[in-house]
Every structure is written in C-alpha cells, then in structure tokens.
C-alpha cells in the first residue's frame, strides 16, 4: 500500500518541488498553500505523514499541529516542520507541541527522503505492536483460553520472594515455567561493568521463562523481585504436556512470544530515535501500566531512579535532570520514593 504525504507550504514552487521528489520515490502526495486548506486535506485523505511550513497565511504551522489532535486517527501521524527560521525557541516550541522532526530550508532532497522513510518505518513498527496487543487481548479474554491456562498454574509449588530477591540468574538452567501470583518481577541484563538494562517488568497474571523452555536453553537474562512477590513453579514436563495436548495453551504462548518480540523491536526503535526526555516519560508510563493504573491523572506508585535509568537506557544523573524538568512543567510530583503523574495526556504526547 502506497504511503500518502501531505505537503503544506505557501511557496508554490517549494511545494511543487517536494511533491515531485516524493512522487519519484513512490509516495502519493497532496499539497496545500495554507494551513486551513491543509487541515481540510488532512480530514479528507488521512495522510501517513505531514510536511508543514511554519509561517503561512490564515493558519500557521503551529496552529495546524494543534488542530490535528482534534482529527480522529491523526494524532499519531508523523509531523515534520519545514522552516527558514533558525531560532532555537522556534524549534523548542514546535517540539513541545508534538512535532517529530525539523528541516531547515533550503534542504538536501536525499536528507528529506531519509527522514521521511525513517519516520514512516517507525510509525509502521508502532502500529505492528498495537496490532499484536489487540490480538493478544482477544485471546486473553477468550473463556476457553482462560480456563485452559488456569488449569496449568493450579496446585503448584509457590516460591515467595522479598524485594530484590533473585528468581533466577543469567546462565541458570531453565527447569520451570513461572507464573506470577502477586507482586512484580523485572527481567534485566547486565554488562561487564555492572550496568543494568531492564528488558521487561512482569506483574500478577504474567508468565515468564517460556522462551528459554521452548528454545531448550539456559536463561539469557536475570529475574529479580522489585516488591514482595509470589511465583507458581510449573515443571518443564507439565508445561510441554499442556502445550502439546491443548490447542488453547499452544495458541496463548505463540501469541505471548509474538508480543515479546514485537515489544523488544519497539523498545529498540525508541532507544534509537527518542530523546532522553521522551525515554524517561515512556519509562514512567510503562511502570504506571504495570501497576494496573488506567490512563488517568493523579496516580501514584513506587519507583526509584535506578530502575528508570535501567528502563530508559540513560544515566541516573540524566534521569534526575529530566525528572526535575517534568516536575517544573507540572507533569509529575516525586517524594519519598513515590512518583505521582499529574498530567498523563501531556506525558504521553512528549516528543523531545
């Protein structure tokens, strides 16, 4: 399916040149000479990406970007500003409003094509993750699947862990499928210097260890309780017996593996392209979700700077600076190891 790109610029020559370049690269384009007509085209065609000038008659680029939040299915469309201005305040304002990138005019055509391709690829990867999550939710709420999975974890040995107790270490033999009854477990890897990177956090109702069991390998990561936790131990033999004899169990773990790999791909994309500020915000939202909080304001949960650092892949010092910025902007409050989200919508829409 051909990606469509909307170009909004009051300079007819610039608009035409960009459109011709993108068409030669295989994209379908629509053009508008002011912000008002650009929004009308966005309503009609729902483009996959928007290139927009800042200074225009009737409605400037900032107004276009703000108005897109009110158009269904357009709030997550990549938005790239084109401008002849070089004032840093203009860049900051655009990024704060949610722009994905900036181009200074005049610009190189090859650079433009690279940025367009990168932004569309990232959007496609995020959409893939969302599709996996939708499929997973359908399976999770299937009555048959629920009953089959419940029978797998019933009447098992329960392992109780205190905060910071290890469930298993990287390189340990994998003899059990683990089901979390209560609490939370973080899965992480450490480099030769002891730097920790959190791959995932699992909560009550989650399984872990299935990938190592299915690959018949040792654990490739370490698992530690981040609060008091109870885990049911399902022996390898019982897991494989259920897997081979029950189609619903097999389907669930196929979906689980697909979801794990999709989330890993999304995390790599975010580490590659997102700013430190965005990664800290994503880490906060991720932990909030793991505490079963809905997307609402004034939710509080326990989290420390080191875990945010391990989730976001940036230094604890950089985490502290970005947390201070988010506090000053009125998005969060912190104190005594507790973090409160004050404006979840703005936290979710941070770009840079």
Note the pLDDT of residue 147: 47
CATH of the domain at 281: 1.10.10.10
Are 161 and 70 within one domain? Answer: no
- For 42, phi then psi, to 5°, come to -65, -40
pLDDT of residue 260: 77
Count: domains in the chain: 3
The predicted structure's pLDDT at residue 84 = 75
C-alpha of 338 from chain center: 23
Listed residues 112, 132, 152: the one ending a domain: 132
Q: pLDDT (tens digit, 9 = 90+) per residue, 74-126?
A: 877 899 988 876 655 666 677 777 788 888 878 888 888 998 998 888 777 66
Residue 319 is assigned to a structural domain of this protein: yes
How would DSSP label each residue in 101-151? EEEESS--HHHHHHHHHHHHHHHHHHHHHHHHHHHHHHHHT-HHHHHHHHH
pLDDT of 289 > 90? The answer is: no
Q: Are residues 222 and 150 in the same domain?
A: yes
Q: Report the DSSP beta bridge partners of residue 184.
A: 203
Convert the pLDDT of each residue in 138-178 to its tens digit. 544 554 444 456 677 788 999 999 999 999 999 999 999 99
Range of the domain at 292: 274-348
Nearest to 48 by CA among 109, 5, 101: 5
Q: Are residues 103 and 32 in contact, defined by beta-carbon separation less than 8 angstroms?
A: no
Structure confidence at residue 125 (pLDDT): 67
> Residue 137: inside a domain, yes or no?
no
* More confidently predicted of 294 and 63: 63
Give per-residue pLDDT as tens, 20-52. Answer: 999 999 999 999 999 999 999 999 999 999 999
Q: Comparing 135-144, 197-206, 221-230, 340-349, which segment has the lowest mean pLDDT?
A: 135-144
Strand partners, 203: 184
Q: What is the pLDDT of residue 302?
A: 83
The two tokens of residue 248 are 């619903």
Helix (H, G, I), strand (E, B) or coil at 319: helix
Q: Which two tokens stand for residue 136?
A: 């997973």
Q: Is the pLDDT of residue 134 over 90?
A: no
> In angstroms, what CA-CA distances link 316 with 289, 305, 307, 310, 313?
22, 6, 9, 9, 9
Same-domain status, 157 and 127: no
Q: Is the CB of residue 265 less than 8 Å from the CB of residue 199?
A: no
Which tens digits make up the pLDDT trace of 206-244? 999 998 998 889 999 999 999 999 999 999 998 888 888
CA distance 277 to 324: 11
Residue ending a domain, choose from 271, 286, 303: 271
In degrees, rounded to 5, the angle at the alpha carbon of residue 183 between the alpha carbons of residues 269 and 281 is 30
**Among the three residues 271, 304, 326, which one is the final residue of a domain in this structure?**
271
Does residue 286 lie in a domain region?
yes
Q: Are residues 249 and 173 in the same domain?
A: yes
310-337 pLDDT, tens digit per residue, is: 888 888 889 899 999 999 999 999 888 8
| Shared domain check, 197 and 302 | no
pTM summary value? 0.48
pLDDT of res. 145: 45
Q: What CATH number has the domain bearing residue 57? A: 3.40.50.2300
Round to whole Å and give the CA distance between 150 and 19: 56
- Asked if residue 285 and residue 265 are part of one domain, the reply reads no
Which residues are paired to 52 by β-bridges?
8, 81
């Amino acid at each position: 399916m051909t990606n469509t790109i909307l170009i909004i610029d009051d300079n007819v020559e610039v608009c035409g040149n960009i459109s011709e370049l993108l068409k030669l690269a295989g994209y379908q384009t629509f053009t508008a000479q002011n912000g008002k007509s650009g929004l009308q085209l966005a309503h009609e065609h729902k483009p996959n990406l928007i290139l927009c000038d800042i200074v225009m008659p009737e409605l400037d680029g900032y107004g276009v970007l703000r108005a897109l939040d009110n158009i269904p299915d357009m709030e997550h469309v990549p938005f790239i500003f084109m401008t002849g201005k070089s004032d840093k305040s203009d860049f900051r304002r655009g990024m704060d409003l949610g722009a994905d990138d900036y181009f200074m005019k005049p610009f190189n055509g090859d650079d433009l094509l690279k940025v367009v391709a990168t932004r569309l690829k990232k959007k496609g990867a995020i959409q893939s993750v969302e599709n996996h999550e939708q499929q997973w939710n359908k399976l999770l709420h299937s009555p048959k699947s629920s009953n089959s999975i419940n029978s797998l974890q019933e009447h098992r040995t329960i392992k109780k862990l205190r905060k910071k107790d290890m469930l298993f270490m990287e390189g340990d033999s994998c003899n059990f499928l683990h089901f979390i009854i209560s609490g939370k477990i973080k899965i992480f890897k450490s480099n030769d210097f002891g730097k920790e990177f959190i791959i995932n956090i699992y909560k009550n109702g989650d399984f872990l260890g299935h990938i190592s069991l299915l690959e018949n390998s040792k654990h490739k990561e370490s698992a530690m309780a981040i609060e008091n936790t109870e885990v049911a131990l399902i022996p390898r033999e019982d897991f494989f017996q259920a897997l081979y004899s029950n189609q619903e169990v097999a389907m669930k773990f196929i979906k689980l593996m697909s979801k794990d790999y999709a989330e890993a791909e999304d995390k790599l994309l975010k580490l590659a392209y997102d700013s430190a500020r965005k990664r800290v915000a994503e880490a906060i939202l991720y932990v909030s979700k793991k505490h079963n909080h809905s997307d609402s304001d004034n939710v509080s949960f326990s989290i420390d700077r080191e875990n945010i650092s391990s989730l976001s892949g940036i230094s604890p010092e950089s985490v502290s600076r970005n947390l201070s910025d988010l506090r000053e902007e009125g998005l969060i409050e912190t104190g005594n190891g507790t973090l409160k989200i004050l404006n979840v919508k703005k936290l979710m829409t941070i770009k840079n």
